[in-house]
Structure 1
Amino acid sequence: MVFSTPRVSTLRHALVASLFLAAASLSGIAQAQGTPIKLLVGFPAGAGTDAIARTLGEKLKDELGVPVVVENRAGAGGQIAAQALKAAPADGHTLFLSHDHSISILPQVVKSAGFNPASDFVPVAGFATFANVLAVSGGTPAKTIDEYVKWVRTQRGGKDTIGVPAPASIPEFLVKMIGDKYKIDVQSAPYRGSAPMTADMLGNQISAGIASVPDFIENHKAGKVRIVAVIGAKRQPLLPNVPTFSELGFPNLDDYPYYGVFAPVGTPQPVIDRFGAALQKVLAMPDVKQKLTTLGLNVAYEPQGQFAGRVRTYTQAWERIIQASGFKPL
């Protein structure tokens, strides 16, 4: 008869635990390989974020060997999609492709977002930065922000409405900053995403809107809207003649918004690493990079740790701006 000493018993338990964890990780990878991946998007089909997700999803399915299905959970500035991610199993089958609003801004501006990015989500990887811009519709004669302000003063009695893709978003804070700087009465008109807002701009229902470069760039190129100011420390390569808000005298608008992918907390690290590696390969494809650049993105892969740092820094920067504005959560 063989008796186990306490030390042998302890080692045996540790070995069994290690094998169990390894099996769980391998099981998660196998599931990710054999089951379609659902890529949540918090905005409607046809919007800039949707186009980005579909561009990446088409290539990711080849790298991962499974279908990557874009699922639009539009509404509330991405809040519905974020809540869906929180409720999803942490098995790598459900991910969230999002820009900064849903992750960094929304939890600060609503009383009950229904999720906490810091405790409910884990960053997977970042893949781009972009810029929010002010654009005027074709129904206005303005070609610069100064001409727009002059038009508001002379033709609108100093009052106007500027569309924004979601309430209590960075575009809405920019509307307030524009009004304060130029001493005009401009109010924000929140929409359920940039697509319906842009449609109203094209129909001259509203004279101006603030959204991302991807939301406006094609209509800007076609001359249907005119981008007159852009956020960030530097001018955008696609918009070399458009000044930054910083150039125009607006403070604290140098940080670029981001795009990235998030998973439910508890998702196995091997699954996250595998998706991140696939995303990095896809972003290196010339046709993908060209497509995303054409949409107005500054494409650059950021691994999990680096991307998590960007999200944290950006969130803290806008926390200071939001608090200084006196905004009260809705």
Structure 2
Amino acid sequence: MSFSSLIRRRLCQALAVGALLAAGAAQAQQTVRILVGFPAGGGTDAIARLLADKLQGELGQNVIVDNRGGAGGQIAAHALKAAAPDGTTFFLSHDHTISILPLVTKNAGFDPARDFVAVAGFATFVNALAVSGGTPARSLPEYLNWVRSQGGRGTIGVPAPTSVPEFLVKILADKYKMDLQAAPYRGSAPMIADMLGNQISAGTGSIPDFIENHKAGKIRVVAVLGSARQAAMPEVPTFAELGVAGFEDVPYYGVFAPAGTPQAAIDRFSAALAKVVALPDVREKLTAMGLTVGYMPQQQLASRERAYTRVWARIIKESGFQPQ
């Protein structure tokens, strides 16, 4: 090899290394955005902020939480669909937006199978029924008896319309032959605010939404969904124990990206999330929020979402509900 050829080769190598370093620096300067479909102050928002703080260190990038509350997460889902598939926008969501909304809405404006791609899951959780502090009841039977004493009519808050919590209210009303009306909110935070102010007698939502106020004695969780009692509140019975079967399949929390996002970007975020949820302090905090922590790689989350959707498609159909 001539001296001039050697110089050209070394120059090309140096330029290639420089390009890689520049690309890495550019990527590090990009901000990663995590969309959340509910307002700040709720359970999903708290989870997202905990993870975002730790993901910054793993990704070496600024990670922000972008709250797009409203319509049960539909606004955030639309934002995800419209986002560039460049690995900088992700959507942290539970089952409602991804699995339930497309089943109960004639035109959700997005198709999870076509418009989104699973990235990774990190936990499952259960929904629950809680009574407000101004209600004397300390159990589900006591709450039902209290409603009967009020003329058999009660209002139960739900964090989103046509959600699993709303279907739970309908099933309870049918089972106990009572006039229980669901009051939909734009997220759990305003619902709980009304519970704390005794504007509504009860509310349904996820354990992460209720656990802080339950432990403080401001509201009382009286029943949980799922097949087993929850470690975060072992004193609370399941609905199945109380004679309300059919809610044993538990929902999930996962991260999704716009369709077309490069697999390398998905793998990178997924690997970072796996490390974050394995951190002892993160696991401890998520568990204290009422989550069952467990990392799910991309394909496992995708399978979990499809199975959950099939279960609820049957429940919704059997309820007689017509998509709106």
Alignment partner, residue 68 of structure 1: 63
- The correspondence for 1:196, drawn from 167, 190, 193, is 190
Alignment partner, residue 274 of structure 1: 268
Alignment partner, residue 221 of structure 2: 227
Alignment partner, residue 123 of structure 2: 128
Query: Gaps (5+ residues) in structure 2?
Result: 1-20
Alignment partner, residue 119 of structure 1: 114
Structure 1 residue 241 displacement after superposition: 1.2
Contact preservation (8 Å) 2:29, 2:62: no
- The correspondence for 1:244, drawn from 238, 241, 247, is 238
Q: What CA distance in whole angstroms lies between the structure 2 residues aligned with 1:211 and 1:29?
A: 42
Deviation by residue 1:233-265 (Cα, 9 ceiling, x = unmatched): 111001111111111222221111110000001
User: What TM-score, normalized by structure 2, do the two folds share?
Assistant: 0.92
Contact preservation (8 Å) 1:83, 1:115: yes
Q: In the comparison of the two structures, how many residue pairs are matched?
A: 304
Deviation by residue 1:289-309 (Cα, 9 ceiling, x = unmatched): 111111111110000011111
Q: What CA distance in whole angstroms lies between the structure 2 residues aligned with 1:282 and 1:159?
A: 46
Alignment partner, residue 187 of structure 1: 181
Per the alignment, do residues 137 and 37 of structure 1 end up closer, same or farther by CA in structure 2, a change over 3 Å counting? same
Structure 1 residue 33 displacement after superposition: 3.6
Amino acid at match of 2:283: K
Q: What CA distance in whole angstroms lies between the structure 2 residues aligned with 1:126 and 1:28?
A: 28
Alignment partner, residue 308 of structure 1: 302
Q: What CA distance in whole angstroms lies between the structure 2 residues aligned with 1:303 and 1:102?
A: 20
- The correspondence for 2:135, drawn from 126, 131, 140, is 140
The share of aligned pairs that are identical, in percent, is 67
Q: What CA distance in whole angstroms lies between the structure 2 residues aligned with 1:229 and 1:204?
A: 19
SS in 1 for 2:54: helix
User: What TM-score, normalized by structure 1, do the two folds share?
Assistant: 0.90
Deviation by residue 1:30-58 (Cα, 9 ceiling, x = unmatched): 76543110000000001100000000000
SS in 1 for 2:261: coil
Report the RMSD for the aligned CA atoms in angstroms. 1.4
- The correspondence for 1:296, drawn from 278, 290, 296, is 290
SS in 1 for 2:210: helix
Per the alignment, do residues 37 and 145 of structure 1 end up closer, same or farther by CA in structure 2, a change over 3 Å counting? same
Per the alignment, do residues 32 and 244 of structure 1 end up closer, same or farther by CA in structure 2, a change over 3 Å counting? farther
Q: Does 1:48 align with 2:43?
A: yes
Q: What CA distance in whole angstroms lies between the structure 1 residues aligned with 2:223 and 2:52?
A: 31
Q: What CA distance in whole angstroms lies between the structure 2 residues aligned with 1:256 and 1:310?
A: 10
Amino acid at match of 1:308: A
Deviation by residue 1:167-187 (Cα, 9 ceiling, x = unmatched): 100000000011111111100
Q: What CA distance in whole angstroms lies between the structure 1 residues aligned with 2:272 and 2:194?
A: 38
Amino acid at match of 1:112: N
Per the alignment, do residues 212 and 152 of structure 1 end up closer, same or farther by CA in structure 2, a change over 3 Å counting? same
Structure 1 residue 71 displacement after superposition: 0.4
Contact preservation (8 Å) 2:134, 2:198: yes
Deviation by residue 1:195-251 (Cα, 9 ceiling, x = unmatched): 000000000000000000000000000000000000001110011111111112222
